[in-house]
Amino acid sequence: MLSLQNIFDTIAMVDKQHLDIRTITMGISLLDCVSEDPKRCCDKIYDKICRRAEKLVQTGRDIESEFGIPIVNKRISVTPMALVAGSCDTEDYVPFALTLDRAGKTCGVDFLGGYSALVQKGFSKGDELLLRSIPQALAQTDLVCSSVNVGSTKAGINMDAVAQMGRIIKETARLTADREGLGCAKLVVFCNAVEDNPFMAGAFHGVGEADSVINVGVSGPGVVYHALQRCKGQPFDVVAETIKKTAFQITRMGQMVASEASRRLDTPFGIVDLSLAPTPAVGDSVARILEEMGLAVCGTHGTTAALALLNDAVKKGGVMVQVGMPPKNTQFELDINKIIFGECDLLGVRHHTMHDMQTAVKIINSGVMNEQLTELISAVYPMEQVAAALERARTDKTALRVLMDFAQ
């Protein structure tokens, strides 16, 4: 049950502890924009992005104003450009970056990610051409972010890609030296890239995603820091549990914003990603969290262990809810190990809409189902026998429905 303290805690998180929605990111698939003609492909890319994300920024502002929750960035992620441009009859990929930049500026977003290549196991021709174009692409654009996945747990690390990215980063820094090397701030090289990351510069829209989707990124190191101040001197298991509960609180707020944005934009809701990314604001530091966990100073012995504990606690916990009754004979595949080791709760909710409830009440009041309904009622108890009714419902496995009659 929501208490007054819960409300005050949430207000304090936003007002004093720097909690914010770091980004609302709309992922857009560009697979249907593929064409052999590069100009035709660019035109289709521009049209689709502008059509899908036309109301993204205004929707973010409206939610921010109505709920009083800061939404720092509105962003777009697209299908890795190496996949889209790979079918075009061209070796110059910079026009694709310029098209993305123009579309982002038209929509009014802060960043647009997806000028990307996935080369963890090797290069295609499109990958090689895109990597070669990254320095010029980032130097000539303002909003475009680039990312290259060079490794994965299964495939290992593509060391040829690592060597090439070293040269690309150096060249990008040289070409954007007049802007303090800003191009490198819009470029990320990583392993085990996920398809629904809302954070830049590593965001791209994976090929396994829907045509468009809303992903939300939440940041709250200040909230975790203040929560840990309340459990000073406690054992590590208490610290971990505090971090986990706080992370859950933060994520719930992100889920609310994501659901509202999804509804208003008529776009499926994807994920809420909790990040402890710091900002320059006082009290919004990950180092302060580590020191609050018991380190004398961030960087001393034990820092790695504390950081591992923090990451482990943040990623654990959560709730999976099955709402409504699935169709008959429907089967779901669940990885029980992920549920156990992720410390998730699995809930089932037989939820119905107001229309469903009103229709059911009309049918019951009509009396046409009295005989069938009577068969579902195993026992009726007056209020003074509430203990017996609860015990019957708890222990009698054959009882379908045990009712309390308030009229008696």
Q: Domain boundaries in the chain?
A: 27-191, 220-317, 354-405
Would you state the pLDDT for residue 322? 46
Return the pLDDT at 319: 46
Burial of 353 (0-12, 13-18, 19+ CB in 10 A): exposed
As a whole number of Å, the end-to-end CA separation of the chain is: 29
pLDDT-based confidence at residue 368 (cuts at 50, 70, 90): confident
pTM beyond 0.75, yes or no:
no
Question: What residues does 112 pair with on adjacent strands?
Answer: 76, 144
Mean pLDDT for the chain?
77
331 class by beta-carbon count within 10 Å (0-12 exposed, 13-18 middle, 19+ buried): exposed
Q: What confidence tier does 33 reach under pLDDT thresholds 50, 70, 90?
A: confident
At 403, which helix (H) or strand (E)? strand 402-405
Region of poorest pLDDT, from 6-15, 90-99, 266-275, 354-363? 6-15
**What are residue 380's DSSP bridge partners?**
403
What's the pLDDT at 158? 87
Considering the domain 27-191, what is its CATH architecture?
A: Alpha-Beta Barrel (3.20)
Residue 155 confidence (pLDDT) = 81
| Among 4-13, 55-64, 275-284, 288-297, the least confident range | 4-13
Q: Which of 181-190, 268-277, 313-322, 391-400 has the lowest mean pLDDT?
A: 313-322
Who wins on pLDDT, 143 or 279?
A: 143
What's the pLDDT at 4? Answer: 47
Decide: 285 and 221 in contact? Cβ < 8 Å: yes
Answer yes or no: is pLDDT of 16 > 70: no
pLDDT at 113: 87
With pLDDT > 70 as the criterion, what percentage of the chain qualifies? Answer: 76
Q: Can you tell me the distance from the alpha carbon of 330 to that of 317, in angstroms, rounded to the nearest whole number?
A: 27
Q: In whole angstroms, what is the distance from residue 10 CA to residue 376 CA?
A: 44
pLDDT at 86 over 70: yes
Ranges 73-87, 190-204, 317-331, 333-347: which has the least confidence: 317-331
